[in-house]
């Protein structure tokens, strides 16, 4: 059995890790870390775990946890892991970090967008960006995995085949993204109160959202050059889910025509047909958050706008599963040589 510890287990992503790992046949949770609820019964905080989880919450002593666990999940705010990580800890245990601390390779870019000093930049280079469908072979041999963000996972996977194959002009990419309120975390914040969110939709982080450089960096690797995109997130009154709608100019072929549906569908299928958790939908079917809720699936599709020479790409996922905890467990499976889908074949919930 893999002994797993979770620091930040009482946030939404941490609680989702508990739910998934509790059902994982090869994993035992040995540490429910929570700075806010030390010594309190975990099931008293999340009563859906009544008579399922018997453990109490520990603090965030990562040094002690590293001696007890095989893998540590850090579902913590930006700056926590970077502030405590040492070579001694990484020598003892594998870490899957759900924060942004090791996602961006340029420390100056991280510090600019997140507004904090990075305390352990010496580990950035070795950290593997844990988007399994793209980096699985690198993940398998990693000590430190930077679990991608929820918006970024959906945005990157939706556009990746088009960027990688050079079928779009990457610098024309515009991403319009919408998220449920759980993406903002469990902390009490005025903008997330029911009366503020219900019957409302709003853009935020316009031209300044922290996931922008992460998307640009990863799609830049696919393009083979630096790219610049427009990314605009929106908050919608639902618990879970992310929907992205992405627009880009298609590149003309040598004969001066644009690629047709069958050609682009063949490209998407070549990248994702064998991927368990990426589902390329049938022609004319648009992704919906409801059809991936509670699961580790990403649904993707596209429409060609022949009138404008653009392609509209769409993707949907559950921000707490494939966008956070599910992807983290997918990375854990790779780290320990387990089948990648172990413990993750969660049927989407409906209604």
List residues with catalytic annotation. 150
Alpha-carbon separation of residue 272 from 98, 134, 322, 323, 327 (angstroms) = 24, 10, 15, 17, 16
CA distances from 232 to 115, 196, 224, 317 (A): 19, 20, 24, 17
User: How many other CB atoms are there within 10 angstroms of residue 198's CB atom?
Assistant: 9
Q: Which of 267, 261, 259, 318 is nearest to 284 (CA)?
A: 261
SS3 labels along the chain: CEEEEEECCCCHHHHHHHHHHHCCCCEEEEEEECCCCCCCEHHHHCHHHCCCCCCEEECCCHHHHHHHCCEEEECCCCCHHHHHCCHHHHHHCEEEECCCCCCCCCHHHHHHHHCCCCCCHHHCCCCEECCHHHHHHHHCCCCEEECCCHHHHHHHHHHHHHHHCCCECHHHCEEEEEECHHHHCCCCCHHHCHHHHCCCCEECCCCCCCCHHHHHHHHHHHHCCCCCCEEEEEECCCCCCEEEEEEEEECCCCCCCCCCHHHHHHHHHHHHCCCCCEEECCCCCCCCHHHCCCCCCEEEEEEEECCCCEEEEEEEECCCHHHHHHHHHHHHHHHCCCCCCCCCCCCCCCC
């Amino acid at each position: 059995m893999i002994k797993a510890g979770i620091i930040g287990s009482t946030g939404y992503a941490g609680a989702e890790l508990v739910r998934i790992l509790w059902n994982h046949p090869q994993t035992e949770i040995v540490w429910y870390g929570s700075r806010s609820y030390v010594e309190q019964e975990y099931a008293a905080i999340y009563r859906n775990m009544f008579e399922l989880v018997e453990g109490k919450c520990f603090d965030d002593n990562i040094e002690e946890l590293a001696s007890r666990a095989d893998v540590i999940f850090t579902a913590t705010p930006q700056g926590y892991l970077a502030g405590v990580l040492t070579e001694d800890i990484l020598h003892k245990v594998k870490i899957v970090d759900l924060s942004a601390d090791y996602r961006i390779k340029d420390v100056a870019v991280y510090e600019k967008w997140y507004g904090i000093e990075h305390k352990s930049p010496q580990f950035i280079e070795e950290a593997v960006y844990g988007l399994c469908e793209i980096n699985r072979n690198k993940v398998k041999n990693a000590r430190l995995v930077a679990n991608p963000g929820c918006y970024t996972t959906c945005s990157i996977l939706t556009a990746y085949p088009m960027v990688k194959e050079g079928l779009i002009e990457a610098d024309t990419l515009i991403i319009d993204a919408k998220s449920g309120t759980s993406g903002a975390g469990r902390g009490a914040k005025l903008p997330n109160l029911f009366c503020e969110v219900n019957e409302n939709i709003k853009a935020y982080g316009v031209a300044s959202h922290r996931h922008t450089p992460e998307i640009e960096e990863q799609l830049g690797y696919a393009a083979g050059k630096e790219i610049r995109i427009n990314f605009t997130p929106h908050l919608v009154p639902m618990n879970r889910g992310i929907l992205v709608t992405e627009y880009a100019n298609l590149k003309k072929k040598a004969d001066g025509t644009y690629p047709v549906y069958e050609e682009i569908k063949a490209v998407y299928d070549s990248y994702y047909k064998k991927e368990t958790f990426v589902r390329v939908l049938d022609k004319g079917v648009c992704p919906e958050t409801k059809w991936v809720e509670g699961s580790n699936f990403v649904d993707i599709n596209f429409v060609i706008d022949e009138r404008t020479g653009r392609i509209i790409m769409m993707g949907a996922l559950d921000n707490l599963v494939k966008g956070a905890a599910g992807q983290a467990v997918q990375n854990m499976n790779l780290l320990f040589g387990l089948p990648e889908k172990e413990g993750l074949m969660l049927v989407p919930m409906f209604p």
